[in-house]
Structure formats: C-alpha cells, structure tokens
Structure 1
Amino acid sequence: MRFASARSYAVISVLAAIATIVIKTMAWRLTGSVGLLSDAIESSINLIAALMAFWALGMASKPADRSHSYGHSKAEYFSSGLESALIVVAAFGIIWAAAGQLANPSPLQRVDLGLALSLVATAINAGVALLLMRAAKRFRSITLRADAQHLLSDVWTSVGIVLAIALVQLTGWSVLDPLVAIAVAIQISITGFRLLRETANGLMDRSLPEEELQQLEALLQRRSGSGIDFHALRTRVAGSRRFVSLHVLVPGGWTVKRGHDYCETLEQEVCTLLDSCHVFTHLEPIEDPVSWQDGGFRWENEAEA
C-alpha cells in the first residue's frame, strides 16, 4: 500500500511533465528564445525521469524472493542515478544552446505571450515539486526526492529565463538571454552532482544518517550492563528501508528462551526507534572470548582503538 501510494505521485509527475512540455514548446516557438528552448528540453528530460520513477517505485514494491532475499528497494537508486545524470546533461545542453545564441544573437518575438505561458508552466512545476517533496519525506523515497529536486531545478531555470527575457525586452540587451541561461545551468548542475553523490552512497550501502546512528547507539548503551553487551553493529540504507545487524552478548547461563525473548524485545525497540527497519541479532555468550570476534567486519578506527 505504501509504494502504491508513492507511485500515484509518480503518475502526477508524468502528467505534469507532459503538460509543461506542451506549454514551454509553445512559448519557445512564439518567442524564439534559446532560454525557453532549453527550458522545454529540460521538461522533456523531466518526463523521462518521471517515467523512470514510476518504473522504479513499482520494482521497489516487489516483495523479497529467492533471487533478491533483501527485497528490491535498491531499484530506486537506478531512477535517482539516471535522473541526476539527466539533470547534468540538461545543464550542459542549456550551456551549448546559450553559447550558440551568444555567437549568433537574434531578436525575440511575441515576448509577452511567451512569458505568460512560461509562468504557467513554472507554476505547475513548482506545485508538483512541493507535492513530491512532501511525499518523499512521508515515504522516505529517494526516487520521489530526486524527481522533486529535478522539478525544483526546472523551476529555478524557468524563473531565471523569464527574468532574462523580461530584461531583454526592457533594455534591448539580447546577450542577457543566453548569459542567464548559462548561470542557471551551472546552478542546476550542482543539484545534479549532489543527487548523484547521494545515489552512490545508497549503492555503496552507506550507514544510517549520523543522527539516527547516535540514537541507535544510545539505545544500546542504555541496555548495556548486568552481564549484557553489544558489538559488531552494522547499518545500511536501501531506498526507503533500513537494515540493522548486531551481536548481542548475554550471560552464558541464560536459557535459549530467555535469550530469544530478550532479542525480540530489543528488535522491537529498534523498530520503534527507526521506522521501516529490519533488525538482525546474533546471540552469543558474553564469557566466551570468541564471541567478541567481529569476523573481519571491525571498522578501521575501532581496530586502532
């Protein structure tokens, strides 16, 4: 149900992308502005990204199977990775088109109507971007967040281009159109590289955010003592899911039932602390020196300590 709801937002993104492509293409044809042309190109990339997001959310919603025992949630990173790359490609495309306009400037036509159409498309993108950003936080979806950031970058592009065209109309400085387009392209490329880094972190099984990791460590610290300890804590994030594994050391005289009940209670506390978290515990006797071995997973700074 959670991913089905997330996919409904992807559908909204697709419909918005189609609408803005039509509107921005009309604005470009009316004015002849290279800025509006690049804006229409970026909206076309938005459509590709929205379709990719719809696919990724559907793939991520599939349950675990024999070939993918941890589920398919990492499929979201394919979408966010492609979208970040498309943002960067769009930025370079805008710079290329703007450079051509600098070399061969041409007067703009029917600016008033073109700007009005561009503002309508910008308003659509801004509304959908805010909607997707809220949905991304709700569902913790990197796919929806990437889509929202892409749309927000498109909004900034459109605002910059509208201002540039308005200044061209007021001052007659036609060089402003391509120069502002280049400035906006640099800004959105930064967004693309930032999102690409976030995608790479997910594919490399980056640990939980530092704030959540500290909360988890504080929980374990409170439960330590009286012959109970923990080690070999490992965390990772895969799309909207979190994974936590740790070794639980208890007195060797405990019964299997008592140790099992303790681990069950601990796992429930971790899941309460971290929503959508899958917890794996390994029970060991605290008196056995072998229990403290991490099996080659000790962090470098831990080994030095």
Structure 2
Amino acid sequence: MNTAPAPRADNERLMRLATYASVATATILIIAKLAAWAMTGSVAILSTLIDSALDAAASLVNLWAVRHALTPADHDHRFGHGKAEPLAGLGQAAFILGSGALLLVEAVKRFFQPEEVTQGFIGIGVMVFSIVMTLGLVMFQKFVLTRARSVAIAADSLHYSGDVLINGSVIISLGSGMVLGWTFLDPLFAIAIALFLLWNAWSIAIGSMDMLMDRELSEDERARIIDIAKSHDEVLGLHDLRTRLSGQIGFIQMHLELDPQLPLVRAHAIADGVEKAIEAAFPNFEVIIHQDPAGIRESHPGADDRV
C-alpha cells in the first residue's frame, strides 16, 4: 500500500489475464495428471488430480467474480461490485472442503489396503512438469497482486503455491515407493495433502467472510490513518473512524474535530487536504470526511470510541 498504484485500466487488464492464465494452467494439468494417474494408479497422484480439478473450478468462479467485480458502480450498486470476489472465495472454500474430505476418506482406505504404484517414472515426470507450470503461474499472480488488491486472485495464488509443495511431496512418495518399496508413503502423503486442503478452505473462508462482514482494517493501518489526519496543524482531533474493503476498492470515513469558529470554506479546505493525504497513502480507497466543531461529540450507531 506504500507504493503508488498502476493506472487502474492496467490493473484490471492484469487481473483478467491472471484469471485466464489460471484456468488454462489448471486445464493443462488436469489432462497431464489424469493420464499419469491412469498409468500409475497412485493415490497421491489422484490427490493432485482432484486438487487440479478443484483449482479449475475455483479459477472459473474467479474468472466470473473478477469480471463482475471490475464492473463500474451503477445506480443500483453505488459502492461497486467488489464483493463478488469474497463471494467467489466462499465458493472456493466449499469446493475445497468437500474434495478434501473425500480425498481423506480415500487415502485412509488406501493406507490400510496399500496397492503397488506402477510406472512411477511417468508420475514423477508429470509432477516435475506440474511444478514448473505452477511456479510460472504463481509468479505471475504474485506480480499482479503487487499492482492490485484482489481476494479472489490471492485465494487462487494460495491454492497454486500449495500445489508446488503438494507436487513435490508426490515426487518423494513415488520415489520412495520405487526405490525402497515404502508403499505406505503414497496414502500417507495423500492424507497430508487432504489436511492441507482443509486448512486452505478454512483460511479462504475466513478471509472472504471478513470482507463480506466489512471487517475493519488492521490496527496498524488504522493508526496510520489517524496519524495522517492529526498531522494537519488545524485538526484538533477525530472520532468515529470506520474502514472496510470491497474487492479492489476500500472505504475510509471519519469525523474531524475542528475549531468551532472556522469559516465553512476553511473547514472544507482542511478536510480536503486530509482526504488527499490519506488517499495518497492508501491508493484505491475512497475517503469521506465530516467536519465537527471540537468539543461536540455526536452519537452514531456503531461509533468507535478508540479515536
């Protein structure tokens, strides 16, 4: 947030490209892993196939969500359509939760009824290919996230970052089964992957709910806003600071406490200066400031007494 944002049109173009790249990568990996699973019979490869299928479904949801979230505000949606992103995040969490649970059941069953993995070198080759593809996608997603704040793309990037570790664990599993005959590692790694998927589902759900429920910015960010507002010589105090995020756009509103004898024109100029200073520090945030005479504290529903 300390870096000046790129032009908004460039941000939106990058976000759309990230969703297209995600869908394309997941599709290619599904085809490759399906072939590898058919040849090896590895439940660990099956787990990564399920994960890639989930990634494809989640990426398609993201594609819709990002396109909708980038739709400009209109008469019926004055605050924009940004909450389409956390809604997509909840959908992703549900996909991952269900598939993680199914994979866990299958892996536990295979643990007690182990089967020999065949054509292990093919499976390892596909996993190496998957790691290279996934790393390229994650690097592009991380670049996009440095330019634009996106819950949907961040959730997608979390999936694929985990996939790098998952694919690496499958290589270890297949290699140990081929060289040492440790067939128990195949379902064991699948169980670990299933638990990782469940943890991912929980993390994504919490982040999405925070945005849908208009969770405040962090205490450090709030403190920074307060410091910027109070740095103006004529600001005597502030209260009722409220913040929230909605996709790419954030909202900050507050009441500034000013000298009661100031002319309205001067009070407006002070508020305008504070607004510009906050917007410079918090790109893509809309700032709304109300001017109050110092010494008069109004009662507002949900007012914050911390400032």
Q: Same fold (TM over 0.5)?
A: yes
Q: Deviation digits for residues 10-65 of structure 1, max 9, x if unmatched?
A: 10111101100011111101101111112111101111111111111111111111
Aligned equivalents of 2:44 and 2:123: distance in 1?
A: 11
The aligned counterpart of 2:157 is: 148
Paired amino acid for 1:175: F
Contact 2:23/2:56 (8 A) holds in 1: yes
Q: Deviation digits for residues 200-247 of structure 1, max 9, x if unmatched?
A: 1111111112222121111123226x5733211111112222111111
What SS does the corresponding residue of 1:223 show, helix, strand or coil? coil
Note the C-alpha offset of 1:114: 2.0
- 1:298 matched to 2:303: yes
What SS does the corresponding residue of 1:234 show, helix, strand or coil? strand
Contact 1:245/1:281 (8 A) holds in 2: yes
Note the C-alpha offset of 1:108: 1.6
The aligned counterpart of 2:269 is: 261
Contact 2:89/2:155 (8 A) holds in 1: yes
Return the structure number with greater relative CO, CA threshold 8 A, min gap 6. Answer: 2
What SS does the corresponding residue of 2:200 show, helix, strand or coil? helix
TM-score (normalised: structure 2): 0.91
In structure 2, runs of 5+ residues without a counterpart are 1-8
The aligned counterpart of 2:100 is: 91
The aligned counterpart of 2:288 is: 280
Aligned equivalents of 1:9 and 1:106: distance in 2?
A: 39
- Pick the aligned partner of 1:25 from 15, 34, 52: 34
Paired amino acid for 2:298: Q
Backbone CA RMSD of aligned residues: 1.8
- Pick the aligned partner of 1:161 from 137, 155, 170: 170
Contact 2:14/2:144 (8 A) holds in 1: no
Higher alpha-carbon deviation: 182-191 or 232-241: 182-191
Contact 1:227/1:286 (8 A) holds in 2: no
The aligned counterpart of 2:256 is: 248
Aligned equivalents of 1:243 and 1:15: distance in 2?
A: 34
The aligned counterpart of 1:106 is: 115
Aligned equivalents of 2:68 and 2:158: distance in 1?
A: 21
Note the C-alpha offset of 1:265: 1.1
TM-score (normalised: structure 1): 0.92
Contact 1:132/1:144 (8 A) holds in 2: yes
- Pick the aligned partner of 1:7 from 4, 13, 16: 16
The aligned counterpart of 2:61 is: 52
Contact 1:10/1:50 (8 A) holds in 2: yes
Stretches of 4+ moved more than 4 A in 1?
none
